[in-house]
Amino acid sequence: MFIIMVIGGACGLGGLITKEGTKQLSKVELHIVNPLLIFMSYQTELNKKLLKGLAWSFGLAVLSFAAAIVLATLLIPKKRPDFEIERFASIYSNCGFIGIPLINGIYGQEGVLYLTAYITLFNLLVWTHGYMLMKGKRDLSAFLNALKNPSVIAVIVGLTCYLTGLRLPSVPAASLDYITGMNTPLAMLIAGAIASQTNFLKAMQNSGIYIVCGMKLLLVPAACYGLMRLTHAPELVVMTLTIASACPVATTGTMFAVLFDKKPERCSEFFAVTTVLSGFTLPILTAVCTKLY
């Protein structure tokens, strides 16, 4: 992922991916690749034994995001000039791009199945609460328009197919798998192209970077873990969602910032710095939380 991001940065510096290009690629990622990834994640066989764990995952995902939203709202006041992007960065993690391969490597397919619950709620919230937060428009019409987004529709259609046993034939399924395979590399290329304009020394001079890093990498996942432990849910479910909440800042925030002209360079700073630091915080957090069980 880091190598792909570096390539994206080189493309940005070399002019192969322009600012307008990042905006167009962001639209492809957000409106085509992401929805197909969500839909295809539900194209698996229904297992009654895992269904209970999936139900736990949905419930704990709601608890996790509620805790993150409350913490971000209380600890990042509106008087801060960039409070919208700081709150967004503190709440929404890179649970798809980084979370899927990470969870698959640690817990295998069962962990990935539980992660889909978190990703599902992420997409529902990021295209409603997150979308309106970044756009700065919270009226009812904006909420209804957000619900019509392809990613939200993909959640509804995908879950319906999963529960009813509807599966795509092998040929179209294989074609869509090729597109969903673009998810991580395309997102990393976009982030790298935008991050190529990031000055890390300058980024560290902004107080917002310390707030976001502390919230996203430490405080939010710790709070989520503590609340989930109170429910006595299965360990695998709790650990999967804890890791998902501890992933670095979502690249979706950078894409939204490009679309809404909300300081995409600042969002890319949040993404770049938290991604680097997560290489240290994620192993430590996982080891500590696992030892506490």
- Confidence band for 20, pLDDT divided at 50, 70 and 90: confident
Q: 242 or 257: which carries more pLDDT confidence?
A: 242
Over 70: is that where the pLDDT of 203 sits?
A: yes
CA-closest candidate to residue 265, choices 211, 221, 202? 202
Q: Which sequence spans correspond to the domains of the chain?
A: 49-167+199-292
The CA-atom distances, in angstroms, between 194 and each of 36, 61, 85 are 24, 30, 16
Over 80: is that where the pLDDT of 101 sits?
A: no
Over 80: is that where the pLDDT of 194 sits?
A: no
3-state secondary structure of 209: helix
| Ranges 62-76, 101-115, 127-141, most confident | 62-76
pTM of the complete model beyond 0.75: yes
The CA-to-CA distance between both ends of the chain, in Å, stands at 31
CA gap 226, 8 in Å, rounded = 37
Over 70: is that where the pLDDT of 158 sits?
A: yes
pLDDT of residue 234: 92
Over 80: is that where the pLDDT of 137 sits?
A: no
Least confident of 69-78, 226-235, 257-266: 257-266
